[in-house]
Structure 1
Amino acid sequence: MGLRPRPVPDPGFRRPAEFAVAGCGTAFGWLAGHYIGDYYDRELDRIAKPQRPIPSGRLAAGTALACGIGLAVAAVVLLAWANWRTVVLVGLALGGIVAYSRFCKARGLSGNLVRGVITALAFLIGAMVAAPLPGWSAIAFSVVFLLHDAASNLVGTLRDVDGDRAAGYRSVPVRSGVRHAARLAAVLYGAAIATAALGLLLPHRPGFPVLLGAAACVGLFAVLPLPFLAPTLSQARALRAHEFLVAERLVLASAVLARTVPPLVVGSLLVLALVFSLWTQAAMRSAHEIPTDKEVQPT
């Protein structure tokens, strides 16, 4: 009797596991960024947003830092398992998170652009789950998310201008005024959509232009009024514009995915992501950014 050859494992059985692990790894990395950001922002938040977990005493600064480091390590391990080449980009992204929170956030446009670079790296890390290295199209679309997150982060500074000024942070609206910052955010957002539209020149499924058009409509609805509202732009109105952009970015990401992925898969993922994002924003985000009446202490 001859020896039977050992069956070769079907890579298709490993692929769902790779995607699940990589998804968790990316999520852990993003959560690590929030914990680390809150740790470095604790003095700013003590002045501008005392209702947040660290300045309010609900979360110890050391605990936030430990959670951030632990989640960052978990992200590195999981993403390295999916594709060891991602470790370089994960390291750059984590370094960018520290640089943004520790140095660049208080220095105007450089902070907004560094935040955009972090999101672009996250996009490339996701692309490297499907391929050993990102192709040229993935690199081009990473520029879309760099510009988009720089724009949405700049909109966030419109919401935080009073607190940033009080804490000595030199954000774009603090340096150059709210109207200038709002115009710059609109230009960056327009550049993001224009760059994404170049993808229409590449082979694509019908879902790509449909979702790209939907994302553009929502995003332009959020950012275009801001320069006109600038003289009297309220914190709540700026927060609402930022919330629109957070949800719209999910549609934009789905548009990129829809270039090559069947519509049913893309639609299912988009619905789940939007439901989760909108629910969490409604449940937590407003109170996290703007204190309620009960949290406002008399002076």
Structure 2
Amino acid sequence: MSTRTGAAIRAHLETWRPYTLAYPGLVGLAGVAADAGVPAAAGGGHTALEVLAAWLCPTLGWLGGHYLGDYFDRDLDAIGKPQRPIPSGRLSPGTARACGLGAVLAAALVALAVNWPVVVGVVLASAGIVAYSRLLKGRGILGNAVRGLLTALAVVFGAAVAAPPRQLPSWHVLPVAFAFLLHDTASNLVGTLRDVDADREGGYRTVPVVRGLDAATRIAAVLYAASVAAVIPYALTAAHPVTGAILVVAAVVAGAWAYLSLLRTPRPGPRLALRSHAVLVGERLVLAAAVIASDWGALPALLLLLPVLTASLLIQRRMRTRHEFPPEAQDSAVVVSPACGDAAPVPAPRM
């Protein structure tokens, strides 16, 4: 393999953010599980093709969103994250745009093959991706909420793909979709905490830019608490309440650690924000698995969760810091305490 080919492959892998790719598919399966109500077995009577489509469509849409998001953010990334594939020149804007549109088209084709009316959901999600990246990302809480809405659509979309043709998903899906809307609005807001300087320079009026880091952290924590409050009643009234409740508690423990670390720190710095968001990337996998476990039972949920959670945590450790921070910022690591936040830089281990 030539050096140029290897660099191109690496640029695409970085754009994929592989530590996040399991999440949309798991959320789609949570939609299937919630729509099934009280299924007799994993899958709730759905065919393997329908379940596969409910996983694959949101995953392809998510992948397309990464490409298109990086395409629309290329000027902003040139300010704060010049090491990323497009501003560094390792991936051309045209290639990113083509790959993003190709992934969205692939999602539409899967929907057409399994349950053709659901292709409307692909169109709505695509419009949401463009609206978020192009227009709303820098418009405060509205941008964060649109990002959360995309995950809520993935829940409904997963349920709709696996539903009988021309039949809407059941109302059981709505509290789950609402919980993930709140959850990802909160986690997206946490993500903005590490980009304040670049966002301000780029003219983005995010919540931490306009209202400050402390206010943004408190808003995110309230939204997260509301998302948990929305999902708990669902988990406790589903077919397997004990299993679902155990996983909800596990997710809440991780989420509480992430948010308390931020709340206890005056003006949390970008590295603490990234560390907390990295925890939330794993926590949301557990929360999605909790919904699946509530309806399908422990074994299917754990078989899905454990490998993707392990992979996500390991890949984040290898890739994420260099994806989020320029090379000069990677030459030092920050010792972080939940009580004191960003401390003095110390030499970073080479990985």
TM-score, with structure 2 as normaliser: 0.77
In the other structure, the counterpart of 1:153 is 188
8 Å CA contact retained: 1:215, 1:249: yes
Alignment of 1:30 with 2:66, yes or no, is: no
Question: More deviation in 270-279 or 103-112?
Answer: 270-279
8 Å CA contact retained: 1:22, 1:78: no
8 Å CA contact retained: 1:180, 1:227: no
In the other structure, the counterpart of 1:169 is 204
Distance across 1 between alignment mates of 2:125 and 2:113: 17
Distance across 2 between alignment mates of 1:264 and 1:203: 16
Query: What is the letter of the counterpart of residue 227 of structure 2?
Result: A
Aligned with 2:50 (options 10, 15, 18): 18
8 Å CA contact retained: 2:141, 2:206: yes
In the other structure, the counterpart of 2:112 is 80
In the other structure, the counterpart of 1:8 is none
Aligned with 2:144 (options 112, 115, 124): 112
In the other structure, the counterpart of 1:39 is 71
Q: 1:192 to 1:244 in 2, by over 3 A?
A: same
Distance across 1 between alignment mates of 2:88 and 2:140: 27
Alignment of 1:221 with 2:257, yes or no, is: yes
Runs of 4+ in 1 over 4 A off after TM superposition: none
Q: 1:203 deviation in Å?
A: 3.2
Q: 1:147 deviation in Å?
A: 0.3
Q: 1:264 to 1:44 in 2, by over 3 A?
A: same
In the other structure, the counterpart of 1:255 is 290
**Higher relative contact order (Cα pairs below 8 Å, separated by 6+ residues):** 2
What residue ranges of structure 1 are gaps of 5+ in the alignment?
1-11
In the other structure, the counterpart of 1:7 is none
8 Å CA contact retained: 2:66, 2:100: yes
Question: More deviation in 253-262 or 113-122?
Answer: 253-262
In the other structure, the counterpart of 1:3 is none
In the other structure, the counterpart of 2:93 is 61
Matches within 5 A, 1:184-223: 184-200=219-235, 202-205=237-240, 206-223=242-259
Q: 1:183 to 1:13 in 2, by over 3 A?
A: closer
What is the number of residues matched between the two proteins? 284
Q: 1:202 deviation in Å?
A: 2.1
Tell me, what secondary structure is at the counterpart of 2:183? helix
Query: What is the letter of the counterpart of residue 258 of structure 1?
Result: A
Q: 1:99 to 1:280 in 2, by over 3 A?
A: same
Q: 1:13 deviation in Å?
A: 11
Matches within 5 A, 1:102-141: 102-132=134-164, 133-141=168-176
Aligned with 1:101 (options 111, 117, 133): 133
What residue ranges of structure 2 are gaps of 5+ in the alignment?
1-43, 332-351
Percent identical pairs in the alignment equals 50
In the other structure, the counterpart of 1:267 is 302
Q: CA offsets, 1:52-111, max 9 Å, x none?
A: 100000100000000000110001111232222321222111110000000000111100
TM-score, with structure 1 as normaliser: 0.90
